[in-house]
Each structure stands twice: as C-alpha cells, then as structure tokens.
Structure 1
Amino acid sequence: MTVLSNRVLNRTYLRRQLLGGRETLRAVDVVERLVAVQGQESDSPYLGLWARSSAFQRAELAGLLQERTVVRSALLRGTQHLCTGADYRWLRPTLHESLERMAGRAGRLTGCDPATFAEAAVEVMAEGALTRPEIARRLAARFPDVNPAELALVVHLKFALLHPPPAGMWGHHGRVTCVPAETWLGEPLTPPDPGTLVRRYLAAFGPASVKDFQVWSGLTRTRKLFEGLPVFRDEGGTELYDLPGAALEDDGGAVPVVLLPEFDNAVLGHADRSRILASDDRPLVMPGWSIVRPTVLVDGFVAATWSMTGSTVTIAPFRPLAARDRAAVDEAAARLVDFVAPRTGPEVRWE
C-alpha cells in the first residue's frame, strides 16, 4: 500500500482546497467545490472565497444569497454553513441523522410528545420569517414547562431552516430570521445521499480516513461507503481513501502565503489535521471550545494567527519566520486590507 508523506498530503490538500494559488473562479463554483463554506461569522465566507479566487468580489456572494443560488443554514456539525441551493436539497437530509442526535443532546424536551412538538413547530414556522427567540417564545406558550433556550436550539437543529438575507451579508450582525427551506427554495428536499457526500468530501479534502470524514460531517457508521475506493496510508499508518484516478501532488513546489478566516474548513476538515496544522500548534489556533482563530499559511502550513482592527492587521507567528516569509505575509496582509477596507492604507503589526 502506497505511503503518502505529510508534504504530499499537504500539497494535494492545498490544490483541492483551491489554496495552492488563487485562481479566477466564480464564487458559486468555489462554494460547490468545497461542499459547504463555514459561515459561523458573517464575514468569514467572503474572506474564505477571497483567499481562493482572485476574481471574487463581495457583491458576488451577496447576489448569490439574494438570488437563493447560495443559502445559509445549520449544516456540518450543527454550525452555520453556506452551500448552493441545489446541494442543500440533498445535503440537509443526508446530515439529518447527525443533527437529530445533536438536537437530542441539546434538549430532552421533557414532557413534550415528539409528534405534538413537531406539529406545533411546523405551525409556528409557517407564520413567516421569525428569529430563533421568536420561534422559542411562540413554542414556549404551548410548552410552558420546557426551557425556551432548549426549544430554540432543538428547532434550529431538528428542522430544515434557512437564514435569508440580510443574514449572511457582509458586516451583518443584526436579526437572523429562519424560514422553512422548501418555502425559500420553492422545491422539495430530496432523499439522503451519503455516497455522494463521501465522494464530494474526498474531492475537496482527500485523501482522507473514515474518521476524518466522520469528524467533518458528524455522520457515523459510514465505513461501508468507502469500500472499493483506492487506499493509501499516511506516515503514521492510517488508511486514507481517495477517488479513483484523483491526482496527487508532489511534495515540492512553492505555494503562496494565505490568510484564512476563523473556522475555515481547510483547518477543520479532518480528525488528524497535521497535513496543514502541526499538533503542537493546535492549541494556538483552537485555545478553547468553539474558538478557531484566523490563520496564516506559510509554505502550506499554519504558521501564525492574525486579527484585524480597522486597517491594521496583527500577525502572531508561532515561531520566528525567515525574512522572505515575513515579507510575503506583509504583502498578503496588505491585499487583505485592500479587500476589506480599500480606502485605507494597510498597516501590519507583528507580535
């Protein structure tokens, strides 16, 4: 069985994630390629698309959301993601089992008959675009013995709800409303398709292990879906699966410095993230539960975190960088400022 070095995995991963060099791609094609783009923070999808496509402009994604070509919803691991409307129709049913499990852990809804609760939730959501607190208040009137916060979270996970604009717009931090997905899309959802999800995952994240896929998707009992696929091993002996005929990159070649937003799936896409993030550096990127800092890739690996205030980008390297790498980071940070705040002059600070 062929053993793939970590650098081969890194270079292959960068190519599949569109991070080996910014290409001229439409935003909808990037979203589709990545299966779903992390959208936990409103600006993150814009920064993630900008990192991958030199043609990307903020208005492009805003237009896709307004046209319903791209939608925002709780998907992978129960967190907010953007995907195409066409993909959502099969992706959400495929993730339903995982989200149902999360809903069960989030709130037991003691004293609620599940069928009665589901019927009441459907009736409430049919009233129009409502925020999660508004949905919870309406349901709490019917189920006064249940914690409203639990009601809101269970509905968020249990039902196929989309968050229409202005949610997902650049800089939006206001009300986020929920609408039934089939109402917003004007089409019914389709049956689950876990086999397609595995293939799409490998196209964007492979070669990868079964555990990698399960951590990324939240699905369990998926090993049979990988049967018959080409198998490799990493340097630690873990079996990695890939699509038949999928290209592997060599371990050389220069790659650009990349600034990724917080929660980007390029960093979160595997159980073993060593192909892009050294295990010793993981606490610097993920210092606590639900915290994933914006990262800087140098030579293909996470080498620093970054933050931005106004037009000032602050770089926090994990260890000293060579002069040429610092200069490349400075240039990438200046391009970021030009994208985020084009009317201001950039300033880069190093910690």
Structure 2
Amino acid sequence: MTPRTLTARALGRATLARQHLLRRGDLPAIELVEHLLGLQAQAPSPPYFALWARLRRFRPTALADLLESRDVVRIVLMRGTVFAVSAADAVALRDWIQPLLDRDLTTNTQYAAGLAGLDLRELAAVGRDLLRDGPRSLQELRPLLAERFPGRDPAAPAYGLRNLLPLVQVPPRGLWGRSGQPRLTPLDEWIGRGPARADPAVVLRRYLAAFGPASVRDAQTWSGLTRLGEVFERLRPSLEVFRDENGVEVFDLPDAPRPEPATPAPVRILAPYDNVLLSHADRTRIVPDEHRRRIMTQNGIVRSTFLVDGTVAGAANLIVTRNSAVLEVTPWQRLTATRRAAVEKEGLRLTRFAAATAEVHEVRFVEQ
C-alpha cells in the first residue's frame, strides 16, 4: 500500500502541536524540558523564552530553581552545542552523542591541528585532575593545560576537554537575571552519576514525539549523528510511515497528534536558537524556503522569530533596559491588520515576561 502524503502544512501542524506551540501547556517545566529532549542554550536566556512560548503560566524561577537544584543541567549534546536538559537526559544522551564529538575533534577547522598527535586519553585524565578541586572556566584551564602540554596552543586542548568529558556549566551561568562565564565540572561529580548508554530506538521515538513526523535525514540533522536509518528500519514495524510532498519517507508514532492542516495556529514568538527551527533537514513545515537564510545571522546567531499561521513570518529583537522592554518586530511578509494586532498583543506579553517591573512595555514594527 502506498504511504499517504503529508503536506508541509500538515507536517507543520503536527510538529507545532507536539511542541506546545498550537496551544500552551500547563505541565511542569521539567516535564516539558524532558519532552523536548532539552532546550538549545548557547546563551543563558533562550531556554526561558522557549518555555514561555510553550507554557501557560511559566515564570523564570521555575527553570532557575531546576538549575540550582541540579535537576536541569547545561551540557554539550546534539549537534555539538549546549543544551539545557534534565539531569536524567544528560545521563541518557551524552554517551549516545559521543561519536559526533569524537568526529569533531578531527574535523574542526579551528582546533583539529592543535589536537593532532595528542594522546586524548591523557588529555581527558589531565582535565579531570584539573577539575578535581572545583569548577573552572576554559579561560582558567588554558594556562594550566599549557603547562601540561607545552608547545601547543592551549585553546585546542581546552576545546578537546569540552568534547572528551561530559562537562556541565554550573550556576550562576544560565540563571535568570544573573551573569557569569561558563565554569565547568564533570557531570558525575555534579549530579552523582555519569553517562549511561541509551537505547537509540528509545531516543528516536522520543524525537518523533517532540518533532515528528520526520525522515531519517531530519533525525540526523537534529542529532548531528549519522547512520540512523538502521535504527528506523528496526523501528519500522512499530511506526506509521508517510511521505512528504517530495516523496521522502517520514516516520511517526501511531498515536501521536496529527491535527488537520486547517487547524488555526496562533502567533508565537520563538526564542533565539529555538530548536524547532533547527531539528529537520527539510524545514519548510515551519520555515518557508525564502526565509531559511534569514533566521541565522552571518556570525551564526539564530534569531528570535515569530510565527504567523504556523510559519516564520519575521524577526523579533527584544531590547531590555533598566526602565523599558521594547520588542522590535521586522515582518518578512505583508501582515494583515488582524495579524499585525495579534503579533503586537503577543509581543507585549513577551515584554512583560522579560521585564515585569519596567515602566515601559512596547512593540515597534520595523519595516524593511
């Protein structure tokens, strides 16, 4: 039997439903963090805005408290970038993602030459020894590594430690309204247990629950790993199989929500680095092709964007000062008066979330 075709709009509505972007949820923050398999977190604040977009009564303390209690940690995971994940998922995912991090040590154009010929086991052991007395930043580690590995640019072995060891960024890094450079300590010392080998089939079923329906290439884009087709083949008997409009096979959990394509999608403002924009090879379900290059700046920053009718319609830039919170909205397409009003209403909600005590909350439209 020929698999049913799902349009880009149908795929988008399904993913938005699972992301709690069609309807905000009421579940605890830790449950949503786990459902989403973490929140991309190169910068401290994006995870807070990602949860605000998805939860009805989210307050910053809900995530900050989880970081301070060590129930959520900041650690390098999928695609070799920092995620805020539950401690349990840090344990489950870090070992699974290790092949990606190992590959990066030999292919990274900035650091591979500085790591060439280095005994990586020795480097990992030295790193653990240097962190035994407490968390250190990479800046603090570099001169110490220079003593142990003379004649090398110390930035290279410091980067190597980031990939070789499961290191968490400890608070106050990542706390709402706080600052501080990343200071690192081993995961097992921070939460009392280290990485354990995850079942790839379980991980991919969870990926489908949060981002599906999805193709093999979508899952590989989300994770940064290769050869996931072998896992999907093992899972095939337990999954629904569809095709997208290009004829590509997409897999899904049988009981996962797949709303009608005509289901209304409210305006949503996505956090910078929002993972829903980065977790598919074919992003047309949410990002129209004409906007794909606009979501990322030349220096690799993934912009805050806003969704209209389920797809990216422009950029959003939040500016918070001592007395004001202003959201600059740049539409990339014409907005009707009704949609413009909906963007403004959601934008004002965001400014009040970002700076509840500010005297001024404003949304400004910046026309291109």
Length-normalised TM-score, structure 1: 0.97
**In the alignment, does 2:356 pair up with 1:342?**
yes
- Give the partner amino acid of 1:304: G
- How far residue 81 of structure 1 moved from its aligned partner, in angstroms, is 0.5
Query: Gaps spanning 5+ residues in structure 2: where?
Result: none
- How far residue 239 of structure 1 moved from its aligned partner, in angstroms, is 0.8
Q: Which residue of 1 aligns with 2:42?
A: 40
Structure 1 runs of 4+ off > 4 angstroms?
A: none
Q: Of 20, 23, 26, which aligns to 2:22?
A: 20
1-structure distance, mates of 2:299, 2:231: 30
> Which range is displaced more, 82-91 or 337-346?
337-346
- How far residue 302 of structure 1 moved from its aligned partner, in angstroms, is 0.4
Cα deviation code 1:216-269 (max 9, x no counterpart): 101111101112132110111111011233231111122211011111001111
2-structure distance, mates of 1:6, 1:111: 47
**In the alignment, does 2:186 pair up with 1:180?**
yes
1-structure distance, mates of 2:312, 2:42: 20
- Give the partner amino acid of 2:230: K
Q: Is the 8 A contact 2:93 2:195 kept in 1?
A: no
Q: Is the 8 A contact 2:18 2:257 kept in 1?
A: no
Q: Is the 8 A contact 1:17 1:205 kept in 2?
A: yes
The percent of aligned pairs where both chains have the same amino acid is: 40
Query: Gaps spanning 5+ residues in structure 1: where?
Result: none
- Give the partner amino acid of 2:66: L
Q: Which residue of 1 aligns with 2:270?
A: 260
- Give the partner amino acid of 1:238: V
Q: Is the 8 A contact 1:25 1:55 kept in 2?
A: no
Cα deviation code 1:124-176 (max 9, x no counterpart): 12231110121222111110122111122111122100111101111333221
Q: Is the 8 A contact 2:45 2:176 kept in 1?
A: yes
Q: Which residue of 2 aligns with 1:225?
A: 231
Q: Is the 8 A contact 1:91 1:193 kept in 2?
A: no
Alignment of 1:85-100 (within 5 A): 85-100=87-102
Equivalent pairs counted in the alignment come to: 351
2-structure distance, mates of 1:307, 1:289: 16
Q: Helix, strand or coil: the match of 1:47?
A: helix
Q: Which residue of 2 aligns with 1:143?
A: 149
Cα deviation code 1:176-220 (max 9, x no counterpart): 110000000112321232222111110000010101111110111
Alignment of 1:238-249 (within 5 A): 238-249=248-259
2-structure distance, mates of 1:81, 1:196: 19
**Once superposed, what is the RMSD of the aligned Cα atoms?**
1.3
- Give the partner amino acid of 1:273: R
- Give the partner amino acid of 1:270: H
1-structure distance, mates of 2:314, 2:194: 44
**In the alignment, does 2:70 pair up with 1:68?**
yes
**In the alignment, does 2:332 pair up with 1:318?**
yes
Q: Is the 8 A contact 2:269 2:346 kept in 1?
A: yes
1-structure distance, mates of 2:194, 2:159: 24
Q: Of 5, 8, 11, which aligns to 1:6?
A: 8
1-structure distance, mates of 2:178, 2:224: 28
> Which range is displaced more, 278-287 or 85-94?
278-287
Q: Which residue of 2 aligns with 1:298?
A: 308
1-structure distance, mates of 2:25, 2:121: 49
- How far residue 289 of structure 1 moved from its aligned partner, in angstroms, is 4.9
Q: Of 342, 352, 358, which aligns to 1:328?
A: 342
- How far residue 34 of structure 1 moved from its aligned partner, in angstroms, is 0.2
